[in-house]
Amino acid sequence: MSGSSIAVVGVGAIGGVVAAALGDLAHHDLTLCVRTPFDVLEVELPGGRSRVDATILANPGQARPVDWVLVATKAHQTADALPWLRGLTAEGTTRWAFLQNGVDQVERGNRLAAGGTGPALAPADVVPVIVNLPASRPAPGRVIQSLNGMLTSPDDEAGRAFATLFEGSRISVRSHADFTTIAWRKLLMNASLGGVCAFISGSDEAVAEGPLRRFVLDLMLEALPVARAEGAEIEEADCEQILERIMQAAPDHWSSIAVDRREGRPMEWEARNAVIGRRGRKHGISTPRHDALTDLLRAIG
């Protein structure tokens, strides 16, 4: 099998798991672009451990063009990827994949392509990717993947090409024809359950029952008309099913935004929460609960 040159920008929990899966496929040429340098990436997996053989760069000035750039930073850190993208992108041939939360990954990519105060870039494609890979990063160069997971890309030529990168790896990657619905199903959960858990600085288990569970469900139902206006096919009954499935799978799970709140780090409220109200206003749909939760999360970080 022929390989691709791939750079992972942002080797935290998600970037580390993805890098390990790609690194185990010997045919790829892998580069890890990091802020804090480390000697080797070690990933603890549900069924073993992986040490990643890759080039590790901490200086964007050392970057060279690759076939694929996988941006795995948090959404609010996207702009930090721009110096890397300048060195990693051969205009018109390099593809960018954004492995981030939210429903506006393509917009983020297009903003980066505009170049900020520098010259514009011209990636061949900007591919949004939905990530379901429960993992944590206790230290630079060390990642723990708690459960097996999945990546989802659009069912178009670029999305299928992204999925092909992982053929034979431990990560399941699917190209879905109704990418919009899949993306909004995850956002409803991230914005509602994740937002509430971030505000109270608790795990999913903290809202498993009682008034807080009802409030999470009310938030999901309030955002549902926005999701439908955006083209997602989600019913009211789906919201309860989505919430129950998450609670049963890993009730003690801490969402990444709740971990950031607990650790005193900036939170991803813009991509996970503010987007609900922003898209709602575009369609003339009121989202007062989400607007209030967004304001609260903004106020605390």
Supply the residues annotated as catalytic: 186
Cross-strand pairs, 95: 68, 125
For residue 97, report the phi and psi dihedrals to the nearest 5 degrees: -120, 130
8 A C-beta contact, residue 297 and residue 195: yes
DSSP state string for 221-273: HHHHHHHHHTT----HHHHHHHHHHHHHH-TTPPPHHHHHHHTT----HIIII
Max distance between CA atoms of the chain, in angstroms, equals: 54
Distance of CA 148 to CAs 13, 48, 135, 253, 292, Å? 13, 12, 9, 14, 34
Residue 163 contacts residue 21 (beta carbons within 8 Å): no
- Give the sign of the dihedral formed by CA 280, CA 285, CA 286, CA 290: negative
Cα separation, 40 vs 56, in Å, equals: 8
140 strand-pairing partners: none
Contact 220, 247 (CB under 8 A): no
Phi-psi region of 168 (alpha: psi -120 to 50; beta: other; left: phi over 0): left
Nearest alpha-carbon partner for 103 in 211, 221, 231? 231
Cβ pair 99, 162 in contact under 8 A: no
